[in-house]
Amino acid sequence: MRERYAPLQSLARLAHNGFFGNDRPVNVKLLMASGLAHPCKMHGSVLLCYLMMEYIKNRFSIYDIPSMIQDFKSEITRKSIHFLIALTPVLTMVSRDFAVAALTLGVIFYIYLESLRLSGVEVPFFSVVVRLASRPRDGNRFVPGPVTLGTGALLALLLFPEPVAKIAIYALAFGDGFSSLVGRIFGRIRPAFLLGKSVEGSLSCFFCVLLSTWYVCRDIKASFAAAAAVVVCDVLPLGDYDNVAIPLAAGIAAKCLLAL
């Protein structure tokens, strides 16, 4: 019997290992139970159903589903806050000074509320959002992400003229935001030269910055330069301080190319 089903088991194991990248034993009892006595008579649909069942069983048995859901919620919360920084150019429509003042007050107010949270005061809504958005590395410490995010946008306004400031802020909001989101959900290819980041996340970062910069300045060279600079910053192990480095890199790259 073992020899009879050896070709089918080899085929199933080959496909199985292609899915999972391991050598877990392949169960052919489901295939034998189909009533088809010989592997050569096995319908392709039966084999496909078997492989899909094995894929679902093995893929979700090696993960902690509640932790995955919690991690997904945290990432969505963090990136929602990240995307909100793209509204900064709307504030500049009132005046640049107004936008600078709003960002400064926002950072100060966050630091105050975060100090209350760390001292044990439960701040309605704020404490829940910060706990949800915090990373495991933050522990029960000060969460610096919103501070560096506001600081990055603030520096873009203070250091760069229009439209470069808008380019830098959009690079921070969309490039860094989609890089983390896409990389966390869809990232599978992680070569060593990306220092733990995924190809999928880096590509989404590049094209988001490319499109947002093109939308602002309509200059393809400046768009490519800003996108490349942001991807380099995104790959570097800067932690939350990439929120400061990314708008600076995008702004400098775009300003240099637009000046040519």
Looking at the predicted structure, is the pLDDT value of residue 73 above 50?
Answer: yes
Give Cα separations from 60 to 57, 177, 190, 224 (angstroms): 6, 27, 21, 39
What does the pLDDT read at residue 54?
57
Question: Higher model confidence: residue 252 or residue 123?
Answer: 252
Task: Give the CA count within 13 Å in the CB-facing half-sphere of 133.
Answer: 20
Q: How many residues does the chain have?
A: 260
Give Cα separations from 234 to 5, 76, 149, 243 (angstroms): 50, 18, 14, 9
Residue tagged 């010989």 (tokens): 38
Residue tagged 């993960």 (tokens): 63
What does the pLDDT read at residue 74?
75
Give Cα separations from 242 to 145, 147, 148, 153, 180 (angstroms): 10, 12, 8, 12, 12
Contact 165, 212 (CB under 8 A): no
What does the pLDDT read at residue 214?
95
What does the pLDDT read at residue 206?
96
Maximum CA pair distance of the chain?
A: 81
Looking at the predicted structure, is the pLDDT value of residue 20 above 80?
Answer: no
Amino acid letter, 179: S
> In the structure, what pLDDT confidence band is assigned to residue 28 with cuts at 50, 70 and 90?
very low
- Per-residue pLDDT tens digits for 189-248: 889 888 888 999 999 999 999 999 999 999 999 999 999 999 999 999 888 899 999 999
What does the pLDDT read at residue 32?
47
Would you kindly state where each structural domain of the chain is located, as residue ranges? 6-61, 65-258
